[in-house]
């Protein structure tokens, strides 16, 4: 029977950059949350990785996809080779700040764990995920968590409401993470609050918004547009961009905002969904 996993889109309700470490990585504090929708990854009999979907072209010619790297690392860890491959339905834009490749790799690990009767929460699998990328441990869980250190030290969260209406918007311009962090001004603007995560999100910030806007001004336009919509609870850029999101008090408000975006910015990508 075919096994399929959703690679759930990731958002950062808040993202505080605290400092740049000597190894070049940045210490952050972030609140991860996940949409109900994302890419779709399936196990197949054919080896390798086949990619379809609206954003398949963005991966054309990619030498070493994270899905295959995750599969090789899993095989090295467990000594259990994969007989077959993967089919990826690429529905999320790439280099978009919503987890894309990290979520795909995490979905691959969940599929392989299911095949071998291993829990994805196994500490060895968590360490493997962290070795592949800082966001992958959170994507492996795909539930609301607080991330510290590089974002890969996870603390469970309670109080992020499942089912909250969510609108994702992207200007269809990829934005690489490296240049955005390189433009960060190095100023520590303080810690992310503890306690209720939604209140911490509201009083928090994304320290990468300013450098991202300097590279891609459309991000500022998206944030202003979303913040002005009726019924919006929170409007923020996710990760290092370029995707921005709005959380809404009800689906009618979200859908009205989505209709406005589709009318006024037909070239933008959008996804009306909900928090997991």
CATH number of the domain enclosing 227 = 3.30.70.890
- Which positions are catalytic? 10, 135
Residue 186 or 80, more confident: 186
Of 156, 182, 209, the one marking the end of a domain is 156
Given a cut of 80, whether residue 24 has pLDDT beyond it is yes
CA distances from 19 to 68, 146, 152, 235 (A): 32, 17, 15, 25
Mean pLDDT calculated for residue range 21-43: 96
Residue 60 pLDDT level (bands cut at 50, 70, 90): confident
Per-residue model confidence as pLDDT tens digits over 207-244: 999 999 999 999 999 999 999 999 999 999 999 999 99
Given a cut of 80, whether residue 191 has pLDDT beyond it is yes
Is residue 114 classed as helix, strand or coil in its secondary structure?
A: helix
Kind of pairing, strands 26-44 and 145-148? antiparallel
Structural contact between residues 101 and 36, judged by C-beta atoms closer than 8 angstroms: no
Given a cut of 70, whether residue 63 has pLDDT beyond it is no
Eight-state DSSP code of residue 118: -
- How many structural domains is the chain composed of? 2
Q: 115 and 227 in one domain? A: no
Q: 19 and 88 in one domain? A: yes
Residue 59 or 28, more confident: 28
pLDDT for res 1: 52
Residue closest to 183 by CA, chosen among 213, 204, 156: 213
CA-CA distance, 18 to 25, in Å (whole number)? 11
CATH of residue 124's domain is 3.30.230.10
Of 129, 156, 183, the one marking the end of a domain is 156
Beta strands in the chain (DSSP E): 4-20, 26-44, 48-52, 85-89, 145-148, 153-156, 165-170, 232-237, 244-248, 269-274
CA distances from 251 to 91, 103, 254 (A): 22, 25, 5
Per-residue model confidence as pLDDT tens digits over 69-78: 999 999 999 9
Q: 196 and 131 in one domain? A: no
Range of the domain at 141: 4-156
């Amino acid at each position: 029977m075919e096994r399929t996993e959703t690679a759930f889109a990731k958002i950062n309700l808040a993202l505080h950059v605290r400092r740049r470490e000597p190894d070049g990585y940045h210490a952050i504090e972030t609140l991860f949350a996940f949409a109900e929708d994302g890419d779709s990854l399936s196990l197949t009999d054919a080896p390798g990785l086949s990619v379809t979907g609206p954003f398949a072209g963005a991966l054309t010619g990619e030498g070493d996809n994270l899905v295959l790297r995750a599969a090789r690392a899993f095989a090295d860890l467990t000594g259990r080779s994969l007989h077959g491959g993967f089919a990826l339905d690429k529905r999320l834009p790439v280099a978009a700040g919503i987890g894309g490749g990290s979520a795909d790799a995490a979905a691959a690990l969940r599929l392989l764990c299911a095949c071998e009767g291993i829990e994805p929460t196994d500490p060895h699998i968590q360490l493997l995920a962290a070795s592949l990328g800082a966001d992958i441990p959170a994507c492996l869980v795909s539930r609301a968590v607080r991330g510290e250190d590089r974002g890969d030290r996870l603390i469970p969260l309670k109080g992020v409401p499942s089912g909250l209406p969510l609108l994702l918007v992207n200007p269809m311009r990829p934005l690489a993470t490296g240049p955005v962090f390189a433009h960060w001004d190095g100023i520590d603007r303080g810690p992310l609050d503890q306690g209720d995560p939604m209140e911490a999100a509201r009083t928090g910030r994304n320290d990468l918004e300013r450098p991202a806007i300097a590279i891609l001004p459309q991000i500022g336009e998206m944030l202003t547009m979303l913040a002005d919509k009726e019924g919006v609870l929170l409007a923020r850029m996710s990760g290092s961009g370029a995707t921005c999101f709005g959380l809404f008090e009800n689906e009618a408000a979200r859908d009205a905002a989505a209709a406005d975006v589709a009318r006024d910015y037909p070239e933008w990508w959008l996804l009306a969904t909900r928090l997991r």
